[in-house]
Amino acid sequence: MRIIVCIKQVPDTEELGKVKINPATNTLKREGVSSIINPFDENAVEEALRLRERKGGKVTALSMGPPQAEEALRKTLAMGVDRAILLSDKAFAGADTLATSYVLAVAIKKIGEFDLILSGKQAIDGDTAQVGPGIAEWLSIPQLTYIRKLEVNDNKVRAERVLEDSFEVVETSLPCLVTVTKDINEPRYPSLRGLLKAKKEEIPIWSCHDLSVERKRVGADGSPTQVIKIFTPQPPGKGEILSGEISEVADRLIREIKKRKIV
């Protein structure tokens, strides 16, 4: 199987709380926030590796981002992917999900024939969940989103989709794009061999010139949406500590809940 996994580098989730807005200037303060692979994308990598173990083939990790996104790709090499490609160019900066999925789709076409594309269900920085379906649309292939179980047999893909109150068992044929939830597997730790390989492996960087992209479709120019403002959400605010004798506290809580007519 020829599998492509799309991964994104995001701010470290442990430190997301540190990404604060400077109230004086209303700008983002990102000092001291390190980067990781989007957690769901690690599940996507893991699933790709498991499929390769069962079916043979080749796994390619693909990411669009600034030069430092190479770090995240190195981790996928350490986990065991066969090769990693970084799409990086100043012209890609400021891309929204339409422009991002476009560049990724063009790169996938350049890579050549593929059977399966895997991505995370969403990236934890933007939480949009739009890039996966976007890639599928640019490539005119079916998409299966929010997948927690995946089976591939011959040309058929059978999968379980997570819905609000149920699961859907769906089937389609290859090639297709699948976005995964964290339920699908437990990502492995890199092996020592993997780490060594990742260290010396060359990661090609493809820029605008390496891809047959229409310039008006990439980066900020290719992005219909624009962020015009950011601000800190109204903090819920520290409330009240109900103190006193435990039985009184319980009574008080019942009164508070009743007062608001919730129950």
Ligand X SMILES: Cc1cc2nc3c(=O)[nH]c(=O)nc-3n(C[C@H](O)[C@H](O)[C@H](O)COP(=O)(O)OP(=O)(O)OC[C@H]3O[C@@H](n4cnc5c(N)ncnc54)[C@H](O)[C@@H]3O)c2cc1C
Residues that bind ligand X (CB under 6 A): 13-14, 39
Separation in Å, CA 135 to CA 65, 104, 178: 16, 7, 11
Contact 214, 87 (CB under 8 A): no
Residue 167 vs 204, nearer CB to other proteins: 167
96 binds other proteins (CB under 8 A): yes
DSSP 122: -
39 binds other proteins (CB under 8 A): yes
196 binds other proteins (CB under 8 A): no
Contact 132, 255 (CB under 8 A): no
Q: Can you say whether the dihedral through the CA atoms of 201, 109, 99, 163 is positive or negative?
A: negative
In the numeric block, which tokens belong to residue 18? 């540190």
101 binds other proteins (CB under 8 A): yes
Contact 114, 82 (CB under 8 A): no
146 binds other proteins (CB under 8 A): yes
159 binds ligand AMP (CB under 6 A): no
41 binds ligand AMP (CB under 6 A): yes
Burial string for 162-192 (b: 16+ CB within 10 Å, else e) reads: beeeeeeeeebebbbbbbbbeebbebeebee
Per CB under 6 A, the segment of 12-20, 29-37, 96-104, 203-211 that binds ligand AMP is: 96-104
Distance CA 147, CA 76 (A): 20
Which runs of consecutive H residues, i.e. helices, occur in 87-159? 97-111, 131-138
Minimum CB distance to other proteins, residue 233 (Å): 5
3-state DSSP assignment of residue 37: strand
46 binds ligand AMP (CB under 6 A): no
In the numeric block, which tokens belong to residue 153? 């047999």
Biggest distance spanned by C-alpha atoms of the chain: 71
Which of 54, 68, 214, 220 touches other proteins (CB under 8 A)? 220
Which of 32, 56, 112, 239 touches other proteins (CB under 8 A)? 239
Which of 132, 175, 187, 222 touches ligand AMP (CB under 6 A)? 132
Per CB under 8 A, the segment of 55-63, 78-86, 134-142, 194-202 that binds other proteins is: 134-142
Minimum CB distance to other proteins, residue 256 (Å): 6
Per CB under 6 A, the segment of 62-70, 77-85, 209-217, 244-252 that binds ligand AMP is: 62-70
Which of 35, 63, 143, 185 touches other proteins (CB under 8 A)? 143
Minimum CB distance to other proteins, residue 199 (Å): 27
Q: How many CB atoms lie within 10 A of CB 9?
A: 23
Residues binding ligand AMP (CB under 6 A): 6-8, 38, 40-41, 44, 62-65, 97, 100, 104, 119-120, 122-123, 126, 128-132
